[in-house]
Structure 1
């Protein structure tokens, strides 16, 4: 007995995950969102099956946009016009005519208009008129100034003069499911009666079935229940139809309505008589098209039949247990194959049952149970977890990696759409640089550079997406939330620039040129997660947000700015870092223009400025010289024009400025910190302390920003 008990205990532990999965599956079926998922699955089955040709002889007279335009009248149309349409249809001797309009108020054209419609209905003898029920709030009493009431049902019935000649009056209401999709059609409906309480009436579509049957159409008997699941043939386009105005103008093919069930109703969007249905891709469906689908289902006698919920629930619980058994008994690869095969078989059976036998198998719960049971394989994933840890160590900082590895079900790495900030950076002129060094030194330089920059990314909470030659791509706000993701990305870019200075100093002697990097940053939604093939996948991101960030990095050299952010990133960091608007551009691969902003180091030209018009002599470290003009000045630097393109951002220069309006000749050292065409921003790196108060005094009595702009424009013209 003890040995048997131990074995049972071991089996219980082994299959505990499966038992828990079965319990969770049952709970979600009874109390969770599974029913809503099942309804979506029901809709998807229709989409997969596609349209079917209607079997019943149905023609729809559409009150559409073209009818409003051709008739040039507003709704409601004159009822005599409806009468004319009925007379034309009746002349072809149809089986039945159904009007999906409620004539519950007197015509605005007078009693004669109502009488004309009534006479046409009586002459036809086979017209089914629509009525409707609306729920309205009714105040019953008031307590303490607060009204108390209840919902009452208000019946909208055709006027007596109009309905007296009708073959039947029936409810045209369609009742959506809780998700607002129409999937069912009533057979019989309860109609409130002041004297009798409620009476059961045949619904609109069932009345048309009754009349058509009486005229000799071969039909199946009406179902005994109160409603059916409509076996939708398709959207409005699936049915034969003719615009209302053509019937008015007698532009009707010969015998179009002969031995047909004719429906008259609105298909115009302005009438707001549209509903969501199973055919979601075709858009919302007009109410008259829903009635056409319901009539066709009644005539053919093939409503969709659903498997009882009890049977579906038992099957779903069993699937969870089967998934657990497969995961425990088989090796990981074989278990995956068997589970996938079971899933594919289940989906195929559900589709075939629906497409061939009009049977709805509730497959979502079964699929969910099987997948959840298969999740028991997580207990066998320890070795794989270690491999994953090694693989992901190059993407994530150590702190983030520990959390990711503990997430054994891999939820944090599953591809999903989320808000991210993306950073792209690369070394300027790397191709030229690599030609000056042997391959071994290129590798050494890249290793040192990328190691330093990766540390910077990790320090600011970023994730390294990939290395692209000399470039680096980093993500922020993935895989975990970071409220300051955009700010941290820009801080990373700023530190890139700072760390590049000592790095450049170490390699400049070998290269003969300084090393500079450009950075592009963008924020937006992207698909982020572990993407790729079964043989190889990586944690990465894809989407338009990523592409724009890469494009921004490529245009930094065009504007002479080391860091460019999009307008989307700017919205997150404005006011927190020194920025300036550069331009509105349409980058390659984008059709919409995007505002771009340059980000300056915190020390860059933050002092107040004043307009200045003075000649400047510049000398570069390599001995080159040029003459430029200053258009503004501050204690921190100068704004210049006419600076050659060959003098990039980061160039160190000696400055000699004629005194001009400042009153003193200025000799200083500086660095070009921004560029746009021939315009450049120069930051002082060495300035005679005695000149600082002179410049400050000049700025204090300087002109406003508008005058600076005018001076800049004037200098540009020179």
Structure 2
């Protein structure tokens, strides 16, 4: 099996395993986080999606205000029944479709056997619950009241016997139990409960069914349909709750205020706020019946926020926001979801696995193709984009998974990076480490990315060749011991190589004290000429620093000569079938070598061809030295001395350059006397000017023939 095929199979396996792990039972406790996160993000991004007044359900809250207001202050809830009946009757008379009770009053004060005077307390207060029971019985006739019970074990918590009789027993009593996930968070509501072999609807389903005037229907798979709405649910026999954010999504009325409103017989108020609504009585207290839900990151400060009816009581709001909500809002949300047909739709196991697999595959691919830091950044961008898309989908009640793709992609990213480091990149690192001292990094990377061994052959491309040599090296070598010479050259060549490579050059070879480098290969570089010129200037600067600071250079000050030439060259692997080097071959290389040698004649440090000068541009200060023919070439060319960056040329150096240019112009016009005078102005400080002044004086004294050619032929290499 080819290594590339093996690696591809491993990456695919990593993605699949990580995706499978993210949807396995082992991570079930964090699976519900997707709903929690999406609920919070939707609230932060989109805010309130509808007017609370449009809510099909309202809550009558037995709240802190009710507990602190007369006549309820200091009285147990057993004694509130008459007033509860009064408020119930007022809401139904105001047009409420149906009323449900999330609060269970399991006993009656009329049943008390506590001695009181010469009889029992229950006997003394016989008939205390009459008004409440009459209100329940009256509402039962039209099917407008549903009492709640809590199932559990063999002792369910049910309303008192009188209440059960008033509502015709189980005909109008429904379970209040909710579905709790493994992390003790409520995200779903049961649809039915098996009681005595029958499917009994939950409180929420019963209230929604009566409000809509439709009975629940079941298909052969047990899926419920209510009023033509097929209720979605990933967990069988449940509805996934679609909570709004904040605390004002369901209108809430304080029971104490409504009681005072009923006493005043303000029928207009009840018609205005309860006509056509589903009413749920429940406790909204700081410590009682509080549940953690998928709304836990998007809750608000609870309290009665609707316009008040009476002024006899004082509103009491919670002082701070908590992560829990009162249980009555769970039932109210479920009723709203059923009536509005906007329960959350969750993808099934296969869909969640496929989504997680896509994210894991993308993360693994990024980790395989990119450096770890870049891959991690790409993964973060991918996760943010995925969460943004999921938030947008959740705004339409589709809960795409968030936790599973995040976990799967994170595991795939880490696993792939680990695989690369331990297995796949082991050979790459060994090759890079082994050949880093022999080949350019660009050559190694190209060889590794091509996934094949280097072979003979090359390509033609435009490059700039850099050729340098040490002046008087033979004399220096004669005076030094071999060890000292090696130490000196190693430091010199190391510094020069670092400079060349820092400007994108590739050191082709070392020939004794000479350095042959190429710019523009093996990596493409459109600025190869300019980079070669910058490297030459920096090499001169670094050599001056070595001469001044390094102990090895104190006794032997080095001077170098550099030739630069640009042109087409054949670059690639040259040699025999068993041994070859990545190198460059063309006349451009030979010419660079000749230009390096020309420095010896002109007394300069860096000479470049006119081709290089044209490509490098105006960023450098050049001086035209001469027009020459080199050994082995018949074609003449102009050569230039590289002085400095154009911004680094001082005013003191500009005058000699101008004198030299004037002299060169007179020289080519056969005005040798004028040329000599121009050159002599700076001959004492400028070696090329001194050379040309001598040549001009000789020709002024012995004028040449008419066929004289102002081109210098250099025979030396």
User: Which range, TM-score by smaller chain?
Assistant: 0.3 to 0.5
Give the structure with the higher percent strand.
1
Select the structure of larger CA radius of gyration: 2
Normalized against structure 1, the TM-score is what?
0.45
Higher RCO by CA contacts (8 Å cutoff, separation 6 or greater): 2
Give the structure with the higher percent helix.
2
